[in-house]
Amino acid sequence: MGDAATPHHSAEPAPFPRGFRWGAATAAFQIEGSTSADGRGESIWDVFTRTPGLVLDGANAELAADSYRRYRDDVALLAGLGADDYRFSIAWPRVQPGGTGPANEAGLDAYERLVDALLAAGIAPVPTLYHWDLPQQLEDAGGWLNRDTASRFADYAALVVDRLGDRVGRWITLNEPAMTTLQGYALGTQAPGRALMLGALPTAHHQLLAHGLAVAAIRARGAGEVGITNNHTLVVPATDAPEDRLAAGAFDLVVNRIFAGPVLAGAYPDLSGFGLDAMPGLEAGDLDVIGAPLDFYGVNFYNPTRVAAASAGSEFAAAGLPFEPVDFEGVPTTGFDWPIVPAAFTELLVSLGEDYGERLPPIVITENGASFPDEVVGGEVHDARRIAYLEEHIAAVRRAIELGADVRGYYLWSLLDNFEWAEGYTQRFGLVHVDFDSGERVPKDSYAWYREFIAGARGLS
């Protein structure tokens, strides 16, 4: 059931720094649809969704939110919010159907139309070059296990920047490489669905190398600012017992530090606890490429993670992992059953500065939001729980700034309800409700709240 109707929350934000950027985010595979239009090639997610039993509701993304055709509607929704920025992603297989060779001009034309529509509406485009939709032909050649994929990504990035670099001022290379490695290659719960456990580690290095090579390609073209988006979770030991604290440290290493350290400190953390002397695939000079200075650092945050030592007989222990995520006690949860602990967001942002110091560039929150089981009732969607989540987490960002974190922007996830990867259409994150049969868009109460909040924040800054 959707939330009961409640009065709008008042939009009374504390002042944010002058020039703070407000926006919303989406990803190509999750919203575009038209997965075979205009010469687009197959991605690993197209193949994954066709495999019975891998997507919760058996759905695919052929229609999704139909944003490939309805992009003007989405730009109008962003303009109605008063958004400064729109973070979207460019589908690699739409630009390079097989992941190599010349650009598919029809694919680039589509993103050029979107960029021009955003600029005409006074909204800055912030493209992500890779949001998980690897061309299937590259996966057939080894995917992110293959070092050559990093070079292919840099070639693709160059094609996009050559077309759009005169109008795009901020680029994001990769989205959440940790999830590609952990869910896509280690556990097999997301595309490409490989269950390699620690054998997936080379995919972490090759993604980060791809990032570094793309940064060089973007810099060579003088095409504005560049950064990466990593997802971060604050890791909390289940107890003060030494074994739980060690387990939490190992989890933090795998989820956070392996992906942040090379980018922000030019080095991988100590992997000896996993029986490794060095990151698999690392070659001389790689860390110099990966650790090139950035203009901003994208942080995706949804929830903290409570971790215990792997219990005997658990799937984690069976896989040789020393940790096991466990539930928080006595905290509310989202529709995804993710714990809602806003103070963890503040602590995480402050800790990044403590860990990486002057190497940490200004932070942009590139995703933050929550799914709830929303419904349209009488032409409206009353999502009071989402509003409460957003209020609390934006306040947590403001608190982190007060404590010294250099945060320059906040992009809410998500503008639209979308195809939520292996969960299909069962989880709704959007400010705007989407009917996935008709494409009809219905702004939720949270859309009106965010619009009012942005206006208020801008007036106080």
42, 176, 391, 452: which is the annotated catalytic residue?
176
324, 347, 367, 452: which is the annotated catalytic residue?
367
Q: Alpha-carbon torsion 266, 182, 308, 238, what sign? A: positive
Q: What are the structure tokens assigned to 417, written together? A: 């309800």
Nearest-angstrom CA–CA distance, 206 and 202: 6
- For the chain, the C-alpha Rg in angstroms (whole number) is 21
Q: What are the structure tokens assigned to 49, written together? A: 């969704």
The Cβ of residue 216 has, within 10 Å, a number of other Cβ atoms equal to 16
State the binding site for substrate. Answer: 30, 131, 175, 302, 413, 420-421
Length of the chain: 461
Nearest-angstrom CA–CA distance, 331 and 323: 22
Nearest-angstrom CA–CA distance, 142 and 348: 34
Of 179, 196, 178, nearest in space to 187 by CA: 196
Half-sphere exposure of 8 (CA within 13 A, CB side): 13
Alpha helices (H) in 132-285, listed in sequence order: 136-140, 148-164, 177-179, 201-220, 242-252, 258-264
Q: What are the structure tokens assigned to 262, written together? A: 């090379």
Catalytic annotation present for 176: yes
Task: Answer for the pair 374, 434: CB distance below 8 angstroms, yes or no.
Answer: no
The Cβ of residue 198 has, within 10 Å, a number of other Cβ atoms equal to 15
Q: What are the structure tokens assigned to 74, written together? A: 């989405």
Burial class (CB in 10 A: 0-12, 13-18, 19+), 421: buried
Give the angle subtended at the CA of 137 by the CAs of 131 and 140, to the nearest 5°. Answer: 105
Give the angle subtended at the CA of 424 by the CAs of 411 and 81, to the nearest 5°. Answer: 25
Catalytic annotation present for 440: no
Active site members = 176, 367
